[in-house]
A and B are shown apart, each in its own frame.
Chain A
């Protein structure tokens, strides 16, 4: 009580800064400072495990090294194809489920909740238990596949052609509900009078879908894909526990490679340069995407 009394005379401006201050300070200390530090380190030959050694300024050497390394482009390719397939599948299945759920049948809400469960779980723990489902000797996944179509013995995680699909399947299983929920919100925001007017004009159901439903849900779908795109560009936990980037480097996404360089080889300077490049990439793509998205929305 007494503390509040002391503040009683404070102007709104002071209260405003008092309220925003701690948040901004924390973000500066734990988010911005490390980022600036990483940018600074990216121009040096610093190794975080060699404490006594003074880091030396090496200019753009780390950046040139990263961009000229063929292995980095391979990781980028792995990341890009992971993103392409997960986003495509999640867009199609998520939108499909949302359209079905929008028919408001009985038990709708409970089913929505059950479908949403996978995305609430810990990605790392999900990764661990899928290694069991994918086990070539005793896995349930392999059993079910063989039950419907006899493939014989196959190893989702051990084979370099199948492993990229293994992570796509798990990510799609986990995150399709997210796209679904956002699309559902979009569908529910379409005013009924649009359909009523279309009905009066004798537009067919198909025409209504193409000219009313799809355009109104599209901005929501694109937004969901933006969020998923950012998350999957950073993807680390689920894949580390599922395949740990293997076999070889078949599923070594950019983040996993970054972790290896930074925390196993302790090449702080080099890995900082890589991190900055990743950050610029995601930021650049994100901005272009948002611009395109806003154009579509305006139409």
Chain B
């Protein structure tokens, strides 16, 4: 590094102090998340013991409860059954219950996947097209259009939910995957256009001009030269769109019920006997949050850049 400005470097003592405070903050901020993961591996009794148990015997009861529907049975009935075939049946039997079938969790989870990936792809693709046009061409009323695109993000979702609800009912899009994909695509589009325009602005015009002199059409130049160059920006934008769709709750809870319901409105409804089944909710939460956490850690560079980038540009 540049040694000439080394006297501007903070002293090693102040660095250590800063590091200590940051580590303490990081630990505190991670406690709620770790606690949920730990709870998912507790059994129902140890999840409601007080004082809260930090050391406990790990159990998969939460995960079994998450993936199955069960019903309580009398002792005579349980005795009359053939012995349990596998470990999870045994676990459920020990609670004087039998498995009646799979729960809806897997279906809700895959809905989240389908809607998440579908809308991410669509909003990044459409966003890249629009961003390129805004970045390269003279568009009439450009600034107004850009502001219009951005301002659509200020609407409270509930405010437009009733009209969308009525519109979707008429079009037969209510509670369908397609309807939710279209909706999330539109919500993400404004952010996608803004983020991607920044990245497109950074790509020198000369690249595609050179390609066009070599006989490419504008479209070919866009797909073969510009898009590959913008890959970092596209990846960062895609992560944001995916995280939004994955986490979205208001529209999902208002517009879907059975067919296209995603995981966020479903997880709170995982209720056990006599109150909430915390290990099962913990298991659902853990499985739901895990992909986002892994994503965040692996792709941290793009992600952190994207957050500040979007803000700094405006």
Residues of A within 8 A of B (CB): 4, 7-10, 12-13, 15-20, 22-24, 26-27, 29-35, 37-38, 41, 48, 97, 100-101, 103-107, 109, 111-118, 120-125, 127-133, 137-140, 143, 173, 178, 181-182, 184-185, 189, 192, 195-196, 199, 220, 223-224, 227, 230, 233-234, 236-237, 240-241, 255, 258-259, 262-263, 268, 271-272, 275-276, 278-279, 282-283, 286
List residues of chain B with CB within 8 A of the CB of A26.
126, 182, 185-186, 189
Chain B residues with CB below 8 A from A192, complex form: 5, 8
Seed contacts A18-B129, A279-B154; 15 additional CB < 8 Å A-B pairs: A4-B219, A4-B220, A15-B137, A22-B126, A23-B149, A38-B162, A111-B26, A113-B300, A116-B304, A122-B289, A129-B282, A223-B314, A234-B156, A236-B158, A278-B156
B158–A259 touching, CB < 8 Å: yes
| Nearest chain A residue, comparing its CB with the CB of B295 | A120
B312 touches A125 (CB 8 A): no
Any A CB within 8 A of the CB of B133 = yes
4 closest A-B pairs by beta carbon, nearest first, are: A34-B163, A275-B159, A185-B308, A122-B247
Beta-carbon nearest neighbor of A282 in chain B? B154
Name A99's closest neighbour in chain B (CB-CB). B18
Which of B30-38, B60-68, B94-102 lines the interface with chain A? B30-38
Q: List 5 A-B contacts (CB under 8 A).
A: A17-B133, A23-B189, A38-B162, A117-B29, A120-B296
CA distance A182 to B289 in the complex (A): 24
Q: Which residue of A lies closest to B131 (CB)?
A: A19
B218 touches A15 (CB 8 A): yes
> Does B23 belong to the interface (CB within 8 Å)?
yes
**Measured between C-beta atoms, what is the minimum distance from A299 to chain B in Å?**
19
CB distance from A118 to the nearest CB of B (A): 6
Contact B289 A121 (CB under 8 A): yes
Partner of B250, one of A9, A173, A236: A236
* A255-B297 Cα distance, complex, nearest whole Å: 33
Q: Does B115 reach chain A (CB closer than 8 Å)? A: no
The answer to whether residues A12 and B218 also contact, given A271-B162, A272-B162 and a CB cut-off of 8 A, is: yes
Instruction: List A contacts of B160 (CB < 8 A).
Output: 31, 34-35, 38
Asked whether B186 lies within 8 Å of A105 as measured between CB atoms, the reply is no
Q: Is the CB of B217 within 8 A of A8?
A: yes
- Interface pair B129/A10, CB less than 8 Å apart: no
Judge if B7 is at the interface, Cβ distance under 8 Å.
yes
Which of B43-51, B70-78, B82-90, B228-236 is found at the contact surface with chain A?
A: B43-51
A-B pair count, CB < 8 Å, reads 290
Q: Known A30-B183, A122-B264, A184-B308; judge A143-B51 contact (CB<8 A).
A: yes
Interface residue count on the B side (C-beta < 8 Å): 103
A111 to B310, CA, bound (A): 22
- A116 to B15 CA separation, bound complex (whole angstroms): 21
Question: A30-B186, A185-B311 are contacts. A255–B281 as well, Cβ < 8 Å?
Answer: no
Q: Are A129 and B285 in contact (CB under 8 A)?
A: yes
Q: A132-B278, A185-B312, A263-B161 are in contact. Are A103 and B10 (CB under 8 A)?
A: yes
Q: Are B163 and A37 in contact (CB under 8 A)?
A: yes
Question: Min CB distance, B19 to chain A, in Å?
Answer: 4
Complex contacts, B217 vs chain A, CB 8 Å: 4, 7-10
Contacting pair B162 A286 (CB below 8 A): no
In the bound complex, do residue A128 and residue B15 qualify as a contact, i.e. CB atoms below 8 Å apart? no
Known contacts A125-B267, A199-B8; A16 and B137 CB within 8 A of each other: yes
Q: Which one, A31, A104, A105, contacts B155 given CB within 8 A?
A: A31
The yes or no answer to B164 lying at the interface (CB within 8 A) is: yes
- The secondary structure that dominates the B interface is helix
Bound: A119/B246 CA distance, A: 13
B282 & A255 in contact (Cβ 8 Å cutoff):
no
> Which of B190, B218, B285 is close to A10, meaning CB atoms less than 8 Å apart?
B218
* Residues of chain A with a CB closer than 8 A to B81's CB: none
Find the B residue at minimum CB distance from A262. B162
Q: How far is the CB of A122 from chain B (nearest CB, A)?
A: 4
Chain B residues positioned under 8 Å from A189 (CB to CB):
312
Q: Are A31 and B36 in contact (CB under 8 A)?
A: no
A33 and B190 contact, CB distance less than 8 A: no
In the bound complex, residues from chain A placing their C-beta under 8 Å from that of B282 are: 129, 132
Asked whether, in the complex, the Cβ of A19 is within 8 Å of the Cβ of B133, the reply is: yes
Please pick, from B18, B50, B157, the residue contacting A143 in the complex, using a CB distance under 8 A: B50
CB of B157 within 8 A of CB of A236, answer: yes
Partner of A123, one of B33, B190, B193, B247: B247
Closest A residue to B142 using CB positions: A20
Question: Which one of B19, B250, B281 lies within 8 Å of A128 (CB-CB)?
Answer: B281
Known: A184-B308, A234-B156. Contact between A19 and B5, CB under 8 A? no
